[in-house]
């Protein structure tokens, strides 16, 4: 049944995401074209006459392109929220919740599809940036640029950071889902209640995070210095390789996992045991 | 024989307001039951509880002996009083969706009914008239060989000719071993097809009886009795 749900959710969300990403790719191609035109026009581009018009055009387009990039990231989140709200709480929920599937399967499908589109949007963004730079920066230069970073940061730290990013994406999505699940219990004003719940959760999470950071910061510095001293004989700055940073990141990941488990359980419990589609 | 629908001491509150109070109701298989009551009497709430869209405040509700869950949803065919389909989907896409999820969905039967109504399966739902969209939802509901059909106001808000078509579609397509629970306040239109009637008044069952028994006991039609019971 999960496969069938994934098929349904992917079809429904493609209708929103595919046009958005197509526009994004087209905008990237236009940006690339304008950049090439600007470069081929030569160093006097910023001078007077027709060429300065091209400069203004390129500048304006570049600004719009960056705005659209930000909008794409925002729209990805908005589309995920919109799809969940429409199919799990509003009219279409009459079909969703009468399908012969469990609330866990429904939630799993929504989460997998949300994660999929977040990854696709990130991938398209990265590809478009590389496409933009193509012909002007080669792979060797990129390697050279990142070489010091990779020398400083151990591989295990990069893996930990990647895990942390994935967990943050899942947790972020689940924060929206759990807010809407709790909000739907107020049958008359589910949207306003969901926004209120989300704001409340964010405040609690941010305060907890700030307290955690302040508490940990002192220890983190100590760990960093002691690890660096131990490794090098004097206090140097391979901050990434320090125990402090590892502990910091592992604790942060564990907290995120705890939140994911909590939000997932609450969301599926509400739709399984407290459903209230008025 | 296991009842197809059984609720015991069901109560449902919306905030402080009780929509249903201590409902006890058992329906046997193979019956057409009218769930009758004025607006706000709790008909839709009871149907939504059985469909799994609401959770009772207290009490138990079973379908074919099972508590509400994925298994009961595979046995229940529900016609809501709302247009719940995505407008961007074509009729054939919705049929594929139902065929994917419900093992008891008969795709051929659905296409036959669409053909009789001259509804193009390739048409997007948002381009259909309101009446045709309602007919598509009815076709989806009645193309399933379900144990329990929950039909919430299927003839509300349509003209008399359409009412006849809807009732005819229900009668000619339902699984005869299954039970139909049909909620309405248009008694005179449905009375002829009912085996049993359940009167809901202020969230409680005031009468549950076979239609023939009502006629014998009260010497009245169901419609006449309804008007008497619910007189303002």
pLDDT for residue B61: 94
ipTM for the complex? 0.89
Nearest residue of A to residue B12, measured between CA atoms: A276
State yes or no: pLDDT of A244 exceeds 80: no
Residues A123 and A11 reside in one and the same domain: yes
Whole-angstrom distance, CA of residue A195 vs CA of residue A183: 8
Token representation of residue A245: 């940073």
State yes or no: pLDDT of A234 exceeds 50: no
Whole-angstrom distance, CA of residue A18 vs CA of residue A76: 11
Residues A156 and A257 reside in one and the same domain: yes
DSSP chain B: ---SEEEEEEEEEETTEEEEEEEEEEE-TT-EEEEE--TTSSHHHHHHHHHTSB--SEEEEEETTEESSHHHHHHEEEE-SS--S-TTSBHHHHHHHHHHH-TTB-HHHHHHHHHHTT--TTSBGGGS-HHHHHHHHHHHHHTB--SEEEEESTTTTS-HHHHHHHHHHHHHHS-TTSEEEEEES-HHHHGGG-SEEEEEETTEEEEEEEHHHHHHHHSS-HHHHHHHHT--
Whole-angstrom distance, CA of residue A129 vs CA of residue A133: 6
Residues 77-116 of B with CB under 8 A from A: 78, 80, 82-86, 88, 93, 97, 100-102
Q: How confident is the model at residue A219 (pLDDT cuts 50, 70, 90)?
A: low
DSSP A102-170: -HHHHHHHHHHHHHHHHHHHHHHHHHHHHHHHTTTS-HHHHHHHHHHHHHHS-HHHHHHHHHHHHHHHH
| Range of lowest pLDDT (B30-34, B78-82, B116-120) | B116-120
Q: How confident is the model at residue A235 (pLDDT cuts 50, 70, 90)?
A: very low
Tell whether domain B5-229 is in CATH 3.40.50.720: no
Residues A155 and A126 reside in one and the same domain: no
Greater pLDDT, A184 or B175: A184
State yes or no: pLDDT of B215 exceeds 90: no
Residues A189 and A130 reside in one and the same domain: no
Residues A57 and A22 reside in one and the same domain: yes
Q: What is the mean pLDDT of chain B?
A: 89
φ and ψ at residue B19, rounded to 5 degrees: -85, -35
**Residues A94, A97, A99: CA angle, nearest 5 degrees:** 105
Domain that holds residue A235: 137-278
φ and ψ at residue A211, rounded to 5 degrees: -60, -45
- SS3 for A100? coil
* Averaged pLDDT for residues A130-156: 73
Instruction: Name the most confidently modeled range: A16-30, A39-53, A229-243, B70-84.
Output: B70-84
Q: Is the dihedral of CA A244, A247, A252, A255 positive or negative?
A: negative
Residues A165 and A201 reside in one and the same domain: yes
Express each pLDDT in B38-53 by its tens digit: 888 899 999 999 999 9
State yes or no: pLDDT of A229 exceeds 50: no
pLDDT for residue A83: 93
Number of separate domains in chain A? 2
CB pairs under 8 A between A and B: 60
CA distance B211 to chain A (A): 30
Residues A58 and A114 reside in one and the same domain: yes
User: Cβ A100–B54 below 8 Å, yes or no?
Assistant: no
B79 bridge partner residues: B151
State yes or no: pLDDT of A222 exceeds 80: no
pLDDT for residue A56: 72
Greater pLDDT, A195 or B219: A195
Q: How confident is the model at residue A233 (pLDDT cuts 50, 70, 90)?
A: very low
Express each pLDDT in B78-95 by its tens digit: 999 888 888 889 999 999
CA distance B84 to chain A (A): 5
pLDDT for residue A23: 86
* Averaged pLDDT for residues B203-227: 86
Residues A125 and A176 reside in one and the same domain: no
Give the sheet arrangement for strand B17-27, strand by strand: B17-27, B5-14, B58-63, B66-67
CA distance A267 to chain B (A): 15
State yes or no: pLDDT of A226 exceeds 50: no
pLDDT for residue A237: 47
Residues 185-204 of B with CB under 8 A from A: none
Among A136, A164, A198, residue at a domain's last position: A136
Which helix (H) or strand (E) segment holds residue A209: the answer is helix A190-232
Residues A141 and A126 reside in one and the same domain: no
Inform me whether the C-beta atom of residue A277 falls under 8 Å from chain B C-beta atoms: yes
User: Cβ A98–B76 below 8 Å, yes or no?
Assistant: yes
Expressed in angstroms, the distance from the first to the final Cα of chain A is 26
pLDDT for residue B132: 84
State yes or no: pLDDT of B62 exceeds 70: yes
Which residues of chain A have a CB within 8 Å of the CB of B80?
94
Say if residues B200 and B206 touch (Cβ distance below 8 Å).
Answer: yes
State yes or no: pLDDT of A259 exceeds 90: yes
* Averaged pLDDT for residues B180-193: 86
Domain range list for chain B:
5-229
CA distance B97 to chain A (A): 8
pLDDT for residue A272: 92
Residues A107 and A147 reside in one and the same domain: no
Nearest residue of B to residue A272, measured between CA atoms: B69
Which helix (H) or strand (E) segment holds residue A191: the answer is helix A190-232
Residues A142 and A278 reside in one and the same domain: yes
Picking from A18, A91, A98 by the largest number of B CB atoms within 10 A of its own CB, the best residue to mutate is A98
Say if residues A277 and A193 touch (Cβ distance below 8 Å).
Answer: no
Residues A99 and A217 reside in one and the same domain: no
Q: What percent of chain A has pLDDT over 90?
A: 38
B8 bridge partner residues: B60
Say if residues A61 and A34 touch (Cβ distance below 8 Å).
Answer: yes
Residue A92 makes CB contacts below 8 A (sequence gap 6+) with A86, B84, B85, B86
State yes or no: pLDDT of B224 exceeds 90: no
């Amino acid at each position: 049944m999960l496969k069938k749900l994934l098929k349904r959710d992917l079809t429904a969300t493609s209708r929103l995401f595919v046009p958005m990403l197509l526009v994004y790719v087209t905008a990237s191609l236009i940006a690339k074209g304008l950049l090439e035109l600007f470069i081929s026009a030569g160093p006097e581009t910023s001078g007077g006459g027709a060429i300065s018009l091209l400069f203004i055009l390129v500048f304006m387009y570049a600004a719009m392109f960056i705005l659209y990039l930000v909008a794409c990231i925002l729209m990805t989140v908005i589309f995920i929220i919109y799809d969940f709200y429409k199919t799990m709480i509003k009219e279409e929920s009459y079909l969703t919740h009468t399908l012969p599937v469990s609330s866990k399967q429904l939630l799993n499908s929504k989460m997998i599809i949300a994660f999929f589109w977040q990854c696709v949007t990130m991938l398209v963004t990265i590809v478009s940036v590389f496409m933009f730079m193509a012909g002007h920066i080669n792979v060797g230069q990129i390697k050279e640029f990142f070489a010091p970073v990779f020398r400083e940061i151990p591989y295990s730290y990069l893996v930990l950071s990647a895990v942390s990013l994935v967990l943050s994406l899942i947790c972020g999505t689940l924060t929206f889902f759990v807010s809407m699940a709790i909000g739907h219990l107020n049958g008359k004003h589910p949207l306003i209640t969901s926004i209120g719940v989300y704001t409340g959760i964010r405040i609690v999470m941010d305060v907890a995070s700030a307290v955690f950071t302040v508490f940990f910061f002192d220890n983190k510095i100590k760990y960093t210095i002691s690890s660096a001293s131990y490794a090098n004989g004097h206090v140097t700055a391979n901050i990434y390789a320090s125990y402090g940073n590892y502990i910091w990141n592992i604790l942060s990941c564990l907290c995120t996992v705890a939140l994911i488990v909590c939000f997932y359980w609450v969301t599926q419990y509400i739709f399984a045991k407290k459903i209230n589609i008025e | 024989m296991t009842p197809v629908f059984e609720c015991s001491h069901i109560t449902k509150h919306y905030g402080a307001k009780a929509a249903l109070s201590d409902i006890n109701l058992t329906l046997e298989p193979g019956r057409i039951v009218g769930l009758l009551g004025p607006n706000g009497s709790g008909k839709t709430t009871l149907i939504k509880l059985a469909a799994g869209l609401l959770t009772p405040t207290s009490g138990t509700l079973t379908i074919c002996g099972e508590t509400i869950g994925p298994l009961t949803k595979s046995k229940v065919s529900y016609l809501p009083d709302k247009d719940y389909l995505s407008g961007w989907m074509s009729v054939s896409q919705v049929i594929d969706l139902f065929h994917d999820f419900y093992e008891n969905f008969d795709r051929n039967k659905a296409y036959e009914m669409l053909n009789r109504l001259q509804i193009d399966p390739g048409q997007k739902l948002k381009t259909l008239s309101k009446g045709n969209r309602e007919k598509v939802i009815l076709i989806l509901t009645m193309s399933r060989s379900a144990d329990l059909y929950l039909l919430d106001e299927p003839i509300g808000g349509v003209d008399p000719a359409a009412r006849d078509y809807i009732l005819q579609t229900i009668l000619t397509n339902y699984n005869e071993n299954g039970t139909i629970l049909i909620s309405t306040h248009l008694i005179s239109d449905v009375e002829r097809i009912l085996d049993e009637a359940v009167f809901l008044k202020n969230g409680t069952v005031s009468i549950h009886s076979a239609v023939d028994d009502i006629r014998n006991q009260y010497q009245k039609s169901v419609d006449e009795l309804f008007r008497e019971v619910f007189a303002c």
